[in-house]
Amino acid sequence: MSAIQQLFMGKGAGAAPPPTALEVMLLLNNTSTGPQRYTYDKTTQTFGTRSLLAGGTGSMYEGAFSPDKSVLFTAGNSTPYINAWPWDLATGTAGTKWGNPTPLPGSGGGRGVGITPGAVFVADAAGAPPCIYAYQYTNIGFGAKYADPATPVANGTVIWDVVASPSAASVVIGLQSGGGGFSVLVYQWSDVTGWGATIAGLTDTIGSVSDMKFNAAGDRLFIASSVFPHIRVYEYSDVTGIGAKIADPATLGIGSAKSIAIHPTGTTIVVYGDLSPYVNAWTWSDVTGWGTKYAAPSVDTTGYGFSGCSFNTAGDVLLLSQFATPRGAAYLWSQATGFGTKFANPASATASLDVLAI
């Protein structure tokens, strides 16, 4: 595994925080307040008191940390559509919100956000050209907007998710019920020169793409969507794009898939859906594919988020966003036995659309 792959796995995943990092859960709101921050205690399975990050506005659909976890980005439906805060791992707190990028993304709002070490991508939910925006950033603020792709995303294409490959050499764009004949678009990418050529995407009829994740090696792409079997895995290359589909799990979950979480070891896949049991998990091998399905949690959640499940960095807690009360949830996790004790509900949480965990 290359150094950059070790730094950057999937969306917003990155190098393991130092042992002094404070473990926190961030719930992204479906309200006009900033992200909701909670500390949590794995011994007592409880959450601390809620605090809000200052400066965020509108519903925040998706969030991601920079690969080194020094910056938190969120995409939402109210201007400026993309927000960013410096993040302190030791204290688990955000600094002053960054100034806005120039120019702002389109007025349709940010439905998804993707990250490389030097670029942040914002998916426009309105389908107005250019439909996808990319900005340079450093650890102190936004930089210039990259020029739009030479081969544009089709007018009217509503983008629901965007993710960069672990090598940061390509960008994958997931669409709402297809667009321009595609369900997923793929562009080559460079943090220096920006958008490159289009390479093999996906024309299969898979419905709306809710979430996408890469394995650490960047040669498997996981896609959550609204059409059966809801979770799909494809071979992937930065050079050629999406390849052959991997065989489905022997035992599938039910309902539309909304979110995917990959365990830090890369050997467990969790899928969060819209029908009970809302959260399902399988063993996984990059060589042999899907393995055994874990037993469902003994205490189910009470609803789902739009993009909200995530393992903490240690891999011993699975955290979930929830649109319904109690708005957020967490389970202890064991690679040997799967779902453990469900945490007591977080206090004062509002409807949440995504979750990030340290």
How confident is the model over 182-195, as pLDDT tens digits?
789 999 999 999 99
Q: What is the spatial distance between Cα 137 and Cα 113, in angstroms, rounded to a whole number?
A: 14
Tens-digit pLDDT profile for residues 61-98: 899 999 999 999 999 888 899 999 999 999 999 999 99
Q: Residue 21: what pLDDT?
A: 65
Token pair, residue 114, equals: 């993707």
Q: How far is CA 127 from CA 69, 103, 111, 123, 202, in A?
A: 30, 17, 11, 9, 19
For residues 326-348, average pLDDT = 95
pLDDT in tens, 120-140: 999 887 777 888 999 999 999
CB distance 143 to 137 below 8 Å: yes
Smallest Cα–Cα separation from 62: which of 96, 109, 94, 20? 109
| Mean pLDDT of the chain, nearest integer | 88
Can you tell me the distance from the alpha carbon of 210 to that of 206, in angstroms, rounded to the nearest whole number?
11
Between 204 and 320, the more confident residue is: 320
Residue-level pLDDT at 206: 86
List of residues 6+ apart from 89 with CB closer than 8 A: 17, 18, 20, 21, 22, 69, 70, 358
Length of the chain: 358
Residues 183, 205: contact at Cβ < 8 Å? Answer: yes
Cβ of 336: how many Cβ atoms within 10 Å?
Answer: 4
Q: In what order do the strands lie in the sheet with 132-138?
A: 110-115, 119-124, 132-138, 141-145
Q: Check residues 3 and 159 and name the one with the higher pLDDT.
A: 159
The burial of 58, by beta-carbon neighbours within 10 Å (0-12 exposed, 13-18 middle, 19 or more buried), is given as: buried
Question: In terms of pLDDT, which residue wins out, 326 or 236?
Answer: 236
Dist. CA 109–CA 60, nearest whole Å: 10
Q: Is the pLDDT assigned to residue 304 strictly greater than 70?
A: no
pLDDT band at 11 (very low <50, low <70, confident <90, very high): low
Query: CA-CA distance, 10 to 182, in Å (whole number)?
Result: 22
Q: Is pLDDT at 17 greater than 90 in this prediction?
A: no
Range scoring the smallest mean pLDDT among 139-153, 245-259, 280-294, 329-343: 245-259
- Amino acid symbol at 26: L
- C-alpha distances in angstroms, 187 versus 112, 200, 238, 241, 242? 16, 9, 9, 8, 11
Instruction: Please determine, for residue 306, whether its predicted confidence score (pLDDT) is greater than 70.
Output: no
What is the pLDDT, as a whole number, of residue 5? 35
Per-residue confidence band for 222, with pLDDT thresholds at 50, 70 and 90: very high
Q: What percent of the chain has pLDDT over 90?
A: 64
pLDDT confidence of residue 177: 65
CATH topology of domain 3-357: Methylamine Dehydrogenase; Chain H (2.130.10)
Q: Quick one: pLDDT band at residue 305, thresholds 50, 70, 90?
A: low
CA-based max dimension of the chain: 53
Percent of the chain with pLDDT over 70: 89
pTM of the model: 0.91
CB of 109 closer than 8 Å to CB of 125: yes
Please state, in angstroms and rounded to a whole number, the distance separating the CA atoms of residues 266 and 4: 16
pLDDT at 178: 55
Question: Rounded distance, CA 332 to CA 192, Å?
Answer: 41
Closest listed residue to residue 152, CA positions, set 177, 136, 132? 132
- How many CA atoms lie within 13 Å of 282's alpha carbon, on the beta-carbon side? 19
Report whether pLDDT(338) > 90. yes
pLDDT attached to residue 350 = 86
- The two three-digit tokens of residue 103, written as one number: 């120019």
Convert 100-164 into a string of H (helix), E (strand) and C (coil).
CCCCCCCCCCEEEEEECCCEEEEEECCCCCCCEEEEEEECCEEEEECCCCCCCCCCCCCEEEEEE
Domain-by-domain residue ranges, the chain? Answer: 3-357
Alpha-carbon distance of 53 to 194, in angstroms, equals 31
- pLDDT number for residue 4: 36
